[in-house]
Amino acid sequence: MSEVMSKIIQRGIPKVKICGIQSLQEALWAIEAGADALGFIFVPSSKRYISPQKAQKIIKQLPPFVSKVGVFVNETPEQISTILQQCFLDSIQLHGQENPSHYAHLPVCKIKMLPYPGATIMPSPSTHSFLSHSFPTRISLGDSSQPNPFHAIILDSTSPKGTGGTGIPLPWQNPDFQTFYKSLKSLGYPVILAGGLTPANVQEAIRLTRPYGVDVSSGVEEMGRKDRRKIQEFIAQVRSSESPLSHLTEAENEQRKAEVQ
């Protein structure tokens, strides 16, 4: 991970992804409110599933400079390749038991879901990896001798019903979680925070974790559908969560002040 990338990860107000988009109206509400990315769930068992055909029709009508993310669970690389081309996706988000290295050839940004609880960071001299109850093997987080198989981590909560989309907040204040999260961020990858985020708690989550981005679905819904007011409130809370300079060190802040005087 380059020094420039590390600075990008550490600074600035978090990016916002509104996930589970199912209509053009929902997509436009999110864009109007200032969302950086939209998530389309291509998982037939999900209640927020959208067909590739419907997603394509929506995406074709979107303005430029909005990232389109496809969410998949244990889908084959071949099928994902077909959908990402059909739907003009910018990124894919892998939420199953996939080994990211099997998807490294796909020409888009790749985001891997990491469950909590259920994962353990395993550092070694040449690579970082994690072991997870949700994955059958150790997954590399960046072997110095190999191209990185993915570009970011999304941290989501687990429950007996499954992983991801649970609506259960991560235990941000828990000491064990804080230790785990510190180890995760030390790997140098952008960390996207998910798991039970709402307009009421996202500022606290950002304050305690300082993620690269936040990902929300059920937290901006009413009766299982996206709610315009909640989307606006959520993004407003993120944008006002902290000063863009709050991620800088004291010395860097002093230097910035001197530059503008």
Long-range contacts of 55-58 (CB under 8 A, 24+ apart): 55/87, 56/86, 56/87, 56/88, 57/24, 58/21, 58/23, 58/24, 58/27
* Neighbouring residues of 14: CB distance < 8 A, sequence distance ≥ 6: 193, 206, 211, 212, 213, 214, 238, 241
Provide the pLDDT for residue 183.
Answer: 84
Sheet containing strand 119-123, strands side by side: 119-123, 128-132, 139-140
Say which CATH class 3-260 falls into: alpha beta
CA–CA gap between residue 245 and residue 122 (Å, rounded): 32
CA–CA gap between residue 121 and residue 119 (Å, rounded): 7
HEC readout, 125-188: CCCEEEEECCCCCCEECCCCCCCCCCCEEEEEEEECCEECCCCCCCCCCCHHHHHHHHHHHCCC
CA–CA gap between residue 90 and residue 112 (Å, rounded): 15
Provide the pLDDT for residue 202.
Answer: 96
pLDDT (tens digit per residue) in 201-247: 999 999 999 999 999 999 999 998 999 999 999 999 999 986 444 44
* Structure tokens that stand for 74 in this block: 């244990």
Provide the pLDDT for residue 99.
Answer: 77
CA–CA gap between residue 227 and residue 192 (Å, rounded): 22
* Antiparallel, parallel or unpaired: β 139-140 and 128-132: antiparallel
pLDDT (tens digit per residue) in 131-142: 444 443 344 444
Domain boundaries, the chain: 3-260
Per-residue pLDDT of the chain (261 residues; tens, 9 = 90+): 455 555 555 557 899 999 999 999 999 999 999 999 999 999 999 999 999 999 999 999 999 999 999 999 999 999 999 999 999 999 999 988 887 778 888 999 999 988 887 655 555 444 445 544 444 334 444 444 455 677 899 998 876 565 556 678 889 999 989 988 888 888 778 999 998 999 999 999 999 999 999 999 999 999 989 999 999 999 999 999 864 444 443 444 455 444 434
Is residue 90 annotated as a catalytic residue, yes or no? no
Provide the pLDDT for residue 96.
Answer: 86
Is residue 87 annotated as a catalytic residue, yes or no? no
Phi, psi of 192 (to 5 degrees): -105, 130
233 close to 199: Cβ distance less than 8 angstroms: yes
Q: How many residues are given for the chain?
A: 261
Provide the pLDDT for residue 168.
Answer: 84
Question: Residues 36, 87, 156, 215: which is the catalytic one?
Answer: 156
Question: Residues 19, 36, 87, 215: which is the catalytic one?
Answer: 19
By the 10 Å C-beta count (0-12 exposed, 13-18 middle, 19+ buried), 46 is classed as middle
Provide the pLDDT for residue 145.
Answer: 45
DSSP annotation of 49: B
* Antiparallel, parallel or unpaired: β 213-216 and 67-72: unpaired
